[in-house]
Amino acid sequence: MRLRIFAALAAISVAALTGCGQNTTGGGGTGTLRIMAPASPGGGWDQTARTAEQALKAADPNRKYEVFNVPGAGGTIGLAQLAGEKGNGNLLMTMGLVMVGAIEQNKSKVTLADTTPIAKLTEEYEIVVVPAESPYKQLSDLVTAWKADPAKVSVAGGSAGGTDHMVAGLMAKAAGVDPKQVNYIAHSGGGEALNALLGNKVTMGISGVGEFAEHVKSGKLRALGVTSAERLSNVDAPTLKEAGLDVELANWRGFVAPGGLSEADKKALTDLVTKMHDSQVWKDAVAKNGWIDSFQTGPQFATYLAAEQAKVKAVIAAMGLVA
């Protein structure tokens, strides 16, 4: 009997010690920080998440980090999964303008109101490309073909309702093509869109400059224009306005955490991401990828998010992307 009592007490002690080492909901700067990229590998969110992982390791090497992918529906599948992790201070999700549009496009029941805004990280302009073998040498050639038969000009990009789709619609409108007639082929990640371009399966592609720039430099893709107001230093291409279409748009990316975080967990995540942003590893990556540093946290980012949701809803409704 006495042996059974001692055995039971020992089991309780082990369980208590084990429980102390686990951190299933709270964070507070301990435990493995998981970073969700809500898209397939190879795209902008995946690239941002993995770049952040390396910068976090440099900024706080005593903690473990893990990036994982949850692709589908413009990030709204990942968003729904994040919402199910309410109160978990050891989880971040990369997101951005694409997700704002996808929430509207997919009529997602889970929205950004179900998350905790942590930080806006970067902005990035979009680039319009064609395969190297394409007969379209400049944007005006493509526009001529587009106006003649919109259905024959296929456009590869990210998720429906996302930044790439918005650029395609705005380009069509500026070119005199009905945005509703755009033959847009959505992909769950930049890697899939790139494969379609390299395989000559689509007419043109639209994505963030950082995703296609190296392939333009290698000669596998030809750049027809960028969505910036002025030419960019890291890619040899005119602005869309310079090439004849009055379109300007910047994508942006950031981090949100699950809803229901304690103030301590929210502060710990914000402080950690701020430390990451200030690291040399992050600064070097921003420069290398041609990203624009647009860091903001807390209430400032929350206010920005609210304004972006209102703006995007108006834009995609005007383009006929949502009813």
Q: What is the DSSP string of 101-142?
A: HHHHHTT-SS-GGGEEEEEEEEEEEEEEEEETT-S--SHHHH
Q: Please tell me whether residues 114 and 61 are part of one structural domain.
A: yes
Divide the 323 residues of the chain into consecutive groups of 10 and give the mean pLDDT of each group: 39 35 50 96 92 97 97 94 98 95 90 97 96 97 97 92 90 92 86 92 94 93 96 93 94 97 97 98 93 95 94 82 65
Distances, alpha carbon 288 to alpha carbons 92, 122, 292, 301, 323, in Å: 24, 13, 11, 25, 40
Residue 167 lies in a domain: yes
Helix (H, G, I), strand (E, B) or coil at 56: helix
CATH number at residue 218: 3.40.190.10
Residue 13 lies in a domain: no
Residue 165 lies in a domain: yes
Residue 214 lies in a domain: yes
The 10 Å Cβ neighbour count of residue 162 is 28
pLDDT at residue 106, as a whole number: 86
CATH number at residue 108: 3.40.190.150
Q: Please tell me whether residues 137 and 75 are part of one structural domain.
A: no
Q: Please tell me whether residues 158 and 99 are part of one structural domain.
A: no
Number of folded domains in the chain?
2
Q: How far apart are CA 59 and CA 276, in angstroms?
A: 6
What pTM did the predictor assign? Answer: 0.77
Assigned token pair, 5 = 């009592």
Q: Please tell me whether residues 114 and 176 are part of one structural domain.
A: no
Q: Please tell me whether residues 169 and 255 are part of one structural domain.
A: no
What is the domain extent for residue 256? 29-124+251-318
Residue 12 lies in a domain: no
Q: Please tell me whether residues 261 and 211 are part of one structural domain.
A: no
Residue 242 lies in a domain: no
Q: Please tell me whether residues 97 and 120 are part of one structural domain.
A: yes
Torsion of CA 104, 43, 250, 270, to 10 degrees: 80
Residue 235 lies in a domain: no
Assigned token pair, 277 = 């942003």
Residue 248 burial (C-beta neighbours within 10 Å; 0-12, 13-18, 19+): middle
CA nearest 184: which of 320, 298, 277?
320
Residue where a domain terminates, one of 226, 261, 280:
226
Paired sense of beta strands 292-297 and 115-131, if any:
antiparallel
* Beta-bridge partner residues of 93: 36, 256
Q: Please tell me whether residues 207 and 68 are part of one structural domain.
A: no
CA atoms within 13 A on the CB side of 291: 25
